[in-house]
Amino acid sequence: MAYIEVKRLYKRYRMGENVIEANRDINFSINKGELVIILGSSGAGKSTLLNVLGGMDTFDEGQVVIDGTDLANFNDYQRTEYRRRDIGFVFQFYNLIANLTARENVELAVEISEQPLDPGQVLTDVGLKERMDNFPAQLSGGEQQRVAIARAVAKQPKLLLCDEPTGALDYETGKQVLQLLQDMSRKKGATVIIVTHNGALAPIADRVIHLRDATVDKITINPKPQDIKTLEY
Ligand SMILES: Nc1ncnc2c1ncn2[C@@H]1O[C@H](COP(=O)(O)OP(=O)(O)O)[C@@H](O)[C@H]1O
Ligand SMILES: [Mg+2]
């Protein structure tokens, strides 16, 4: 059985009289250790889907089976445990804790992990060796994004979910971060899902799930994903 199986997933937002169907009849599966890109334009439903997969949000219909367990059957407590234990989440808008330094943000996240990586080492890997003792407000957007990535990676989660992780990064730093995320799948066996609107990133993934108008448009498999060193985007 695949590591992730999504079947007939629906997620709706109710706004007064209106109902917005953000995810509609979504179906796909993902194998353990894959690097997956969810590709789609703004409003396609990417963040909604990532939040559902990470147990950040509930859904209305369908099945989301992860490692043999259907998230639909979780109560709030079980969903929280799942999120803490298995998930590393890189938020699109970072969500760092303002009164903790970069290092402390990462240290706090790994306190609840079973096999954390060394926070200082991971911050070095994302190029922040010299900035670890700075607070988020003292860091640029790109630096804050890298702290958010370090925080998720250092947990060594089974499932690493990244919402537009290179959005605020310059080209070279973006490639470094993509390399780090690919290494998490290739070397550490984590399943990594990257949400992006940038189609140029698609060749590096094992599997690309194309979202359009709240549903899956197509799924493509790259038998030989492109080496990030040779990627141009
Ligand atoms: N909390 C929310 N309440 C109401 N509508 C929402 C909410 N979050 C997202 N939406 C709507 O759902 C649709 C999909 O949003 P989203 O998943 O954020 O798309 P993407 O990440 O692909 O840009 C959009 O129409 C958006 O306005
Ligand atoms: Mg989004």
Boundaries of every domain in the chain: 4-230
Which residue is listed with tokens 């997956």?
Answer: 36
Hey, what's the torsion of the CAs at 51, 216, 20, 193, to 10 degrees?
A: 10
Could you tell me the distance, in angstroms and rounded to a whole number, from the CA of residue 210 to the centre of ligand 2? 14
Task: Tell whether the model's pLDDT for residue 232 goes beyond 90.
Answer: no
Going by alpha carbons, the residue nearest to atom 6 of ligand 1 is 13
0.85 exceeded by pTM: yes
Ligand whose nearest atom lies closest to the CA of 49: 1
Distance CA(126)–CA(113), nearest Å, equals 20
Distance CA(149)–CA(137), nearest Å, equals 17
Ligand whose nearest atom lies closest to the CA of 43: 1
Residue 168: CB atoms within 10 Å: 19
pLDDT at 102: 98
What confidence tens digit (pLDDT) does each residue in 159-193 have? 999 999 998 888 888 998 999 999 999 998 999 99
Which residue is listed with tokens 């498999």?
Answer: 221
Which atom of ligand 1 has the smallest separation from the CA of 41?
A: 22
45 in ligand 1 pocket by Cβ < 6 Å? yes
137 in ligand 1 pocket by Cβ < 6 Å? no
Give the Cα-Cα-Cα angle 210, 211, 214 (nearest 5 degrees). Answer: 165
Output DSSP code: residue 95.
-
Task: Tell whether the model's pLDDT for residue 8 goes beyond 90.
Answer: yes
pLDDT at 231: 87
pLDDT at 149: 94
What's the CATH number for 4-230? 3.40.50.300
Mean pLDDT of the chain: 95
What confidence tens digit (pLDDT) does each residue in 63-122 have? 999 999 999 999 999 999 999 999 999 998 899 999 999 999 999 999 988 889 999 999
Ligand whose nearest atom lies closest to the CA of 45: 1
Q: Which of 11, 13, 215, 217 to probe ligand 1 with, by most ligand atoms within 8 A of CB?
A: 13
